[in-house]
Structure 1
Amino acid sequence: MILRDRKRLARLMAIQEVSQRELARAAGWKAHSYLGRLLSGDAKTLEPEPALRIANYLQVAVDDLFLVKVDSNPGRHAQERKKACA
């Protein structure tokens, strides 16, 4: 998933008085450093499960905060699965 607007996420956190550590725990992360990277713009993507947890914790729709990242080469995954099964 791709974070749509880091400033919107930061505003929601400020309004709801949610700390980076608190939201990172809600996302299922052991540390808050990756959330800090998302908020600073150093990182832009995350896995779907933490994105869903973050949106639920902040009580907003997932698509309000995140875009679905589409793989540009979906055939690659099928090839990787074939290799793993061989």
Structure 2
Amino acid sequence: RNWQKANVAKNRYMSRITNQRDDYLHKVTNQLVREYDVIVIEDLKIKNMTKSHHLARSILRQSWGRFRAMLEYKCKKYGKI
């Protein structure tokens, strides 16, 4: 029973972090799309960057793929490039 309670608490904590990250990404992408007409993004080799075990977890938590997807659909929505 204690394991189940701990698991529920962990899931709540992780979902809160996910919601905060999504909120931040939405705010940043909205600001970029409103301010600039042309936005250029560098293609990063994330697979190569995560080979370093010291930085792998923090690199993967940044949600760069989600950031790019949000930026693309918002640019399309507002007619930006």
Does the alignment reach a TM-score above 0.5?
Answer: no
TM-score bracket for the superposition, by shorter chain length? under 0.3
Select the structure of larger CA radius of gyration. 2
Larger proportion of strand: 1
Structure whose residues are more often helix by fraction: 2
TM-score of the superposed pair, with normalisation by structure 1: 0.21
